[in-house]
Structure 1
Amino acid sequence: MTDRTITLCYRKIMDAGAAKPWDKLVWNDSYAEFRLQAQNFNPENRYRTFGEMLHYVPGADRLHFLVSGAVTGYLQQLGERMPDISDNLGRQFLRFQRFQFELINSDLQDQSRHQVAVNFVSEPLRWHDTVGQFLLVSPVAAAASGGEVLTHLVPLQPFLSIYSILTPETDAAANAG
């Protein structure tokens, strides 16, 4: 099998059922910020939900970005490590390069309906093989250095996906042009 360079995406959803302290903080603070920012798009309180604002108020899709400011400090606490994703040895090794905050649903009068997601996109990884329900990966820099390469077995799981793939052919074409 030919090694390929991939990035992974992990979608972490937080809602009223959040059990971990970090998740609860993100959920609570994003709700408070949503209520604050929604006033700019809904000054007459015509709309109750985020979905209604998206449908009826031009520019309300900016709420994703505006609310994200309330959670960036929490993301920095992660030290660029993807939460919840460990290799088969229980190590959180996967680093994220970027993230995207997303309001899924919210209700100005009912916090229990507030739901958000953070999509984490990993640093590039060398995908060596798939072993059962595991991806065998290593950091790209380690694979490029030659010699022994330390690897990780990452279990395939809900909300974790291969986000992008760069095959040697695509890589060669990109470097040629």
Structure 2
Amino acid sequence: MLARTITLHYRKIIDASAARPWDKLVFDDTYTEFRMQAQYFNQQNQFRTFGELRQHVPGTEQLHFLVSAAVRGYLQQLNGWIPDILDNLGRLFLKFNTFQFEIINSDLLDKSRHQVAINFYSDPLLWHDTLGSYLLVSAKPAEAPTAGAEVLTNLFQLQPYLSIHALHTEG
């Protein structure tokens, strides 16, 4: 049987409707950082939104990276766990090895229009089976398991903003 290794991608969108304390902190701090960093690109105060800055000011793609500094400490609080994605037992089970921050929209004068996304990319997983809308996966071991060895698995349901980012088949 072919071993299928997958990497999952979860896009966590955070906006003014954020209800969880961690999400609210990320929302507030990224908005503050956006306003501070945007000053460099908007010295004459000609533009109000992130979209206007991107359209009219060269180099503003750097704002994604510059504002991401505001979330790095919050990501450490996650201890490597991808938030919100639970297995069918209600437990966090997905570890991330990398992330990408993006500003979706923002307005220098209206905080309610600020919207960001954190894209989490999981550690590699072995994909054993699909059961309806559920995937049965396990952590990819450092070495090939011996024949007959027990493998601990997680069963989880696909949901919005979660997708298979990469697939690798080993023969």
Q: TM-score range by the shorter chain?
A: over 0.9
Pick from 138, 153, 159 the counterpart of residue 157 of structure 1: 159
Q: Secondary structure at the match of 1:120?
A: strand
Alignment of 1:123 with 2:123, yes or no, is: yes
The structure 1 segments of at least 4 consecutive aligned residues displaced by more than 6 Å after TM superposition are none
1:133–1:156 contact (8 Å) kept in structure 2? yes
What is the match of residue 107 of structure 1?
107
Shift of 1:142: 7.1
What is the match of residue 41 of structure 2?
41
Identity across aligned pairs (percent)? 64
TM-score by length of 1: 0.93
What pairs up with 1:133-172 in 2 under 5 angstroms? 133-141=133-141, 144-146=144-146, 147-168=149-170
Segments of 5+ residues of structure 2 without an aligned counterpart are none
What pairs up with 1:47-66 in 2 under 5 angstroms? 47-66=47-66
The change in CA–CA distance for 1:149 and 1:143 in structure 2 (over 3 A counts) is farther
1:126–1:143 contact (8 Å) kept in structure 2? no
Segments of 5+ residues of structure 1 without an aligned counterpart are 170-177
Shift of 1:143: 7.8
**Quick check: which one's helix share is greater?**
1
Partner letter of residue 12 of structure 1?
A: K
The alignment yields a C-alpha RMSD, in angstroms, of: 1.2
